[in-house]
Amino acid sequence: MKKTERQYNEWLDGAMSPTDSEKYERKLGPSDHRLRHIWPEIREALRDHSKQIALAHPDFVNARVLDKIQRPPHPRHTSRISLPRLAWLGTLLLCLFAGGAVLFLPPNTPSRSAADFMSQVISARSANPEISAYSFQIPHGRGSVIWLDNPGYIPADEQVQ
Amino acid sequence: MSKACILLAVALFCLALPTVQAADTLWAGVVLATKEDRPGAIPRSLRRLAPGIAEVFGTNTLYLLGERSKPFDVGVDPWMVPTRDFYFQVKALAREASNYVVNVELYEKQSLLLSSEARLAYQAPLLIRGPMWGRGQIVLVLEIR
């Protein structure tokens, strides 16, 4: 209840001190004074006409209300798939995947020599008998070179497409 | 606890990654190698190849005239056409533990220039000396990437 409403009710019921009441009345209009004049009669009439509702089974209703009050609140609905569960599930699946890979994939890392990681020319032959071809390894690399002797010359003004 | 679980999962995932073998790619390029007073910038796709080309051909600048990449495996036998004038047909004869045995045919303007059989290892290029062009040297490159 707001302060203004509380003050108005106190004034209406005559619960305000005479000094406060006098001050308060200055703010009010004639309709308020008329209401205060007839308020005791209204209050009596309301009291006479308001009847208590009789419940058919008051004990049962009372027990239900008390039960409702005393019952602990519903537990918060939580999802069955929580973050930690997801993480563990992911870990388990990864372990299964890794295990499966180790068991079923053929091992692709047999003992290898450095030559296995180098490109090598097995044979090279030029289609043009005037061009000879021979091969060698790139001195400090893993690549290989096919060297064509006399492979020709393209003039600078001709475009290579 | 959940953070620890996630970290563990990520670590296991990283461990599992190397067991997955990605498909191989065959890269073919036609390169003009020149020796210049002021070396030019090396194209990005040739940076790893540049030291080898420089060592073999004595050049310091590379120009990429054309390149081509295709998925590669036994039975694929792609035509690699980095330029219209120079192109390859590459047949994978066998796949070994760390390399492919291939048959390479190099064509210049529709005529066969070279036929070769070679082992191509991963990131170990096969360089072929092509004709001279102006003041530069044409180098034909094949590489498994």
Determine the pLDDT at residue B97: 81
Determine the pLDDT at residue B114: 92
User: Which residue(s) pair with B118 in the sheet?
Assistant: A121, B102
Interface of A with B in 12-51 (CB under 8 A): none
Of the candidate ranges A81-85, A96-100, A105-109, B10-14, the one whose mean pLDDT is the lowest: B10-14
Determine the pLDDT at residue B20: 39
Determine the pLDDT at residue B8: 60
Determine the pLDDT at residue A161: 72
Residue B59 lies in a domain: yes
**Mean per-residue pLDDT of chain B:** 86
ipTM: 0.82
CA distance A20 to A26: 10
Residue B3 lies in a domain: no
Instruction: With beta carbons under 8 A apart, name residues in chain A contacting B96.
Output: 116
Angle at B27 between CA B22 and CA B33, to 5 degrees: 145
Residue B72 lies in a domain: yes
**Mean per-residue pLDDT of chain A:** 85
Interface of A with B in 97-116 (CB under 8 A): 97-98, 101-102, 105, 108, 110, 112, 116
- Whether residue B15 is predicted with pLDDT greater than 80 in this model: the reply is no
Share of chain A above pLDDT 70, in %: 90
Determine the pLDDT at residue A112: 63
CB-based contact B127 A131, cutoff 8 Å: no
Nearest CA in chain B to A103: B19
Residue B52 lies in a domain: yes
Instruction: With beta carbons under 8 A apart, name residues in chain A contacting B113.
Output: 126-128, 131, 148, 151
Residue B73 lies in a domain: yes
- Which residue from B8, B16, B133 is facing A154, i.e. has the nearest CB? B133
Q: How confident is the model at residue A150 (pLDDT cuts 50, 70, 90)?
A: confident
Chains A & B: contacts with CB separation below 8 Å: 166
Residue B15 lies in a domain: no
**pTM score:** 0.57
Q: How confident is the model at residue B18 (pLDDT cuts 50, 70, 90)?
A: very low
Measure A140 CA to nearest chain B CA, in Å: 7
Give per-residue burial for B42-80: e unless 16+ CB within 10 Å, then b: beebbeebbebbbebbebbbbbbbbbbbeebeeeeebeb
Residue B111 lies in a domain: yes
A108-134 pLDDT, tens digit per residue, is 555 667 777 899 999 999 988 889 999
Residue ranges covered by each domain of chain A = 3-70, 117-161
B81-137 pLDDT, tens digit per residue, is 999 999 999 999 999 888 899 999 999 988 999 999 999 999 999 999 999 988 899
Q: Strand B126-133 to strand A153-154: parallel, antiparallel, or no bridges (unpaired)?
A: parallel
Number of domains making up chain B: 1
Count other Cβ atoms within 10 Å, centred on residue A154. Answer: 18
- Whether residue A53 is predicted with pLDDT greater than 90 in this model: the reply is no
CA distance A64 to A58: 10
Residues 6+ apart with CB under 8 A from A134: A124, A146, A147, A149
More confident of the two residues A112 and A71: A71
CB-based contact B114 A124, cutoff 8 Å: yes
- For residue B120, the enclosing domain spans 20-144
CB-based contact B9 A91, cutoff 8 Å: yes
CB B104 within 8 A of CB B116: yes
Determine the pLDDT at residue B19: 40
Residue B9 lies in a domain: no
